[in-house]
Structure 1
Amino acid sequence: MSNFSTEPPPLDVFEVSLFGPGKGESVVVHLGGRRWIVVDSCRDQRTRVVAALDYLRGIGTDLATEVLAVVATHAHDDHFDGIAEIVEACSAATIVTSHALMNREFLALVEAEREIAGVTNTAAYKEYRRIFEIIEQRRRETGKVPGRRAEENKVLLDLPTLGTTPAVKVIALSPSEHSVSRAQQALAKNHLYAMGERTRRSTYDPNEASIALWVAAGGVNVLLGADILRGPAGCGWAAVLQNFNPADPATLYKAAHHGSKTSHHDGLWSHLLVDSPVVLIAPFRGGNVSVPSDEEVAYFVNRTDKAWITSPRRPTPNKAFRREAAKLGSMAKNPRDPYGIIGHLRARVPLTGGAWKVENFAPAAQLK
């Protein structure tokens, strides 16, 4: 039985569901007419269940026919764990990966140089290798290549009107051409390092390769930020704002990079988003790192009164509490503590447009 809501959306309703922060975050989008896309993956660290699959099965979705695309935005575990399971289950879906990490050099690294650091991590390698295997298997079976490479301003899905359901476009806003070039340079440098050349290993950040998406259906525009950053120059939001000019702004924004200040760009609010849009955030929890911080939460709350998060920050305990908790060890853990439990935010709006209805399923909450 699904851990999430089992109420499917009506055919004429657009939906964005955000799950997090188990191990990762995941976005599930209903485009209308029982047409879905899945962006990234989130796995429950206790049950090992993949949240997107659990939710879609729970609402009666035919994964083999109704999921039209699975997008793996970039090679970081906090967006990638379980993505190969989603690809396997959604057998008719187009498989989208970043052009910056889908070139011949990277394929060679995946197969032969798994221990090269600075490109990505081993767990993400395993997911990538499985995705490549599935793409190749389906190519042999059907004669068609189900994989697509995302890059700036590339239309990934262009769906026609289906009965009363309007046409849909899913557009990749990134990575930029410069981001792709930087990735190729980093991969080539690491290959030389592996071959024994006297060169330093690259520390290329996979977030630079991240795929931000613009989804337009009927009277609805949505911006999905993945982990795209402000820059560097010629990359990130700076490149998107220079190269993409929508006719109408988005009314919902899935905040980039877990709401981190590294992804904040004032140009989004003036050029891509309506005044006071709905903002959905899946935080990052890892070790001593907790994003967004109070300062980062304030950044959103000062710009909209409709900001939501899949799991609130746990208050930082004082030193005395931490000292006593350390003595108790595992006995100090509260099984009902929401910290680390996957929350679910579900935003729905008629495909004709209008006001979003945002529902939060514990521990998800509105930001104040």
Structure 2
Amino acid sequence: MSSFSTDPPEPDVFEVSVFGPGKGESIVVHLGARRWIVVDSCRDQRSGEVSALEYLCGMGVNPATEVLAVVATHAHDDHFDGIADIVEACPTAVVVTSHALMNREFLALVEAERDIGGITDTASYREYRRIFEIARKRKDSVTGVRPLRRASENKILLNLSALGSVPAVTVTALSPSEHAITRAFEGLAKNQLHVMGERTRRSMFDPNEASVALWVSAGKVNALLGADLLSGPAGCGWGAVLHSFSPSEPATLYKAAHHGSSTSHHEGIWNKLLANEPVVLLAPFRRGNVNLPKDSDIKYILAHTDKAWTTSPRRPTPHGAFRKQAAKLGTLARNPRDPYGIVGHVRARVPLAGGTWKIDGFAPAAPLAVRT
């Protein structure tokens, strides 16, 4: 049973909610006037529920009519599990994917996934295949247009008019850059698809390079949603964003990129894109011995703001002997009160007219702090 809030925002309130870690990371944004977008997906590994849908439906939001866009930032399953369920539940929403993952080589890989076993990140390919199948079914019978939109640097994805006292809204993709798209196409072209049923050789292209970071502007509020965009390489990542994008006003909220990891640290983000002491929200990443953010990452973030929150406090990685014993015990080793397998929820709300963000954390969410 989740501990997500069930009180909806007022029509003139902007909201960013972050869910994680579970299996994935997800962001739900209220743009005002019961207009929502969902970015990526998170599934509770205990209940199997898709967190964004559980949250929206719990507040009485109708995803079929009130979710205007579903954004799949990149092809890593820690941001993707359940996203096709979200797309299916939101028939009027535009579906946004990275332009870097829409060439024919990638589409061929998605189609081949059903017959090729054992390749990395097959879960995200399965999700993509479902998304494309849904889009085909929703194709306009007259125009042939499908509800798919390709994100690239400085491309406006949503441009919503004001509704009464609720101001206009724009959602802009900051990435991937032209060079990142080229690198992705070149990397995907090196894939060698073999006879059906055999394993495929894949390039070393990192989908994080082609991740879709978003700039959301609504009334007096700007928010930066960093996805898993990396600081580089040259011509890509945050370096490319800072070269091509200059906001008229900085963002007062930042969904930290790549789980707060040092791979996405860039001083230009703080100096050019963010206000002083912004609200920072993140969902951690845990897989095997990898725990993000590290203590050094947390110290870096806290050196820039004291308003940082995580959806779940980081648990120390258990030593090898403990993991071996826990594996022998199986489900008997699970503590039902252990919060670390549960999806946490951090919610930030602010009036669209501007003001101070109100942050609420729902267990096991907590202020970001170095583990002592």
Matched, 1:87 2:87: yes
Residue by residue over 1:140-186, the C-alpha shift from the partner in whole angstroms, topping out at 9 and shown as x without a partner, is 45743210000000000000011111000000000000010001101
* Cα shift at 1:287: 1.5
Please name the residue that 2:276 is paired with: 275
2:44 maps to what in 1?
44
- Residue by residue over 1:268-302, the C-alpha shift from the partner in whole angstroms, topping out at 9 and shown as x without a partner, is 00000001100001000112211111111111111
> For residues 8-157 of structure 1, what are the structure 2 equivalents within 5 Å?
8-112=8-112, 121-141=121-141, 143=143, 144-157=145-158
Matching residue of 1:210: 211
1:187 maps to what in 2? 188
Q: Which amino acid aligns with 1:345?
A: V
Report if aligned partners of 1:309, 1:366 keep a CA contact under 8 Å in 2.
Answer: yes
Deviation readout 1:336-366 (Å, 9 max, x if unpaired): 1111210000000000111100000000001
Question: In structure 1, what residue type is equivalent to 2:210?
Answer: A
- Give the aligned partner of residue 285 of structure 1: 286
Structure 1 residue 40 displacement after superposition:
0.2
> Taking structure 1 as reference, are residues 176 and 365 closer, same or farther at Cα in structure 2, changes over 3 Å only?
same
Deviations 1:72-100 (A, max 9, x none): 00011100000000000001000000000
Counterpart Cα distance in 2 of 1:227 and 1:170: 18
Q: Does 1:232 align with 2:233?
A: yes
> Which of 73-82 and 284-293 deviates more?
284-293
Closer/same/farther in 2, CA of residues 336 and 167 from structure 1, 3 Å limit: same
RMSD, matched Cα:
2.4
Q: Deviations over 1:179-202 (max 9, x none)?
A: 10001101111147889xxxx841
**291-300 or 116-125, which deviates more:** 116-125
2: CA distance between counterparts of 1:243 and 1:329?
Answer: 51
Contact 2:35/2:68 (CA < 8 Å) preserved in 1? yes
- Shifted more, 250-259 versus 317-326: the winner is 317-326
Change (3 A) 1:123 1:142: farther
Look up the SS of the partner of 2:84 in the other structure. Answer: helix
Taking a change above 3 Å as real, the CA distance of residues 331 and 118 of structure 1, as seen in their structure-2 partners, is: closer
Structure 2: stretches of 5+ with no match in the other structure: none
Contact 1:14 1:30 (C-alpha < 8 Å) held by counterparts: yes
The answer for the alignment partner of 1:312 in structure 2 is 313
Specify the alignment match of 1:258 in structure 2: 259
The 3 A distance-change label for structure 1 pair 72 and 318 is: closer
State how far apart, in whole Å, the 2-side matches of 1:47 and 1:113 are: 27
The alpha carbon displacement at 1:332 in A equals 3.9
**2:22 matches 1:4:** no
Return the offset for 1:330.
4.6
Residue 351 of structure 1 corresponds to 352
Give the residue type in structure 1 aligned to 2:276: D
Aligned residues: 365
Asked whether the 8 Å contact 1:70–1:96 carries over to 2, the reply is yes
Secondary structure of 1:80 counterpart: coil
Deviation at 1:323, TM superposition (A): 8.2
TM-score, with structure 1 as normaliser: 0.93
- Distance, in Å, in 1 between the alignment partners of 2:323 and 2:133 is 47
Asked if the contact 2:46–2:341 (Cα under 8 Å) also holds between the matched residues in 1, the reply is no
Q: CA deviation at 1:264?
A: 0.6
Quickly say closer, same or farther: Cα 1:267–1:9, change in 2 above 3 A: same
The range that moved more, 119-128 or 49-58, is 119-128
Indicate if the aligned counterparts of 1:40 and 1:79 stay in contact, CA closer than 8 A. yes
Check the 8 A contact 1:76/1:120 in 2, yes or no: no
Cα distance in 2 between the residues matched to 1:272 and 1:305: 17
Residues 329 and 84 (structure 1 numbering): CA distance in 2 closer, same or farther, change over 3 Å?
closer
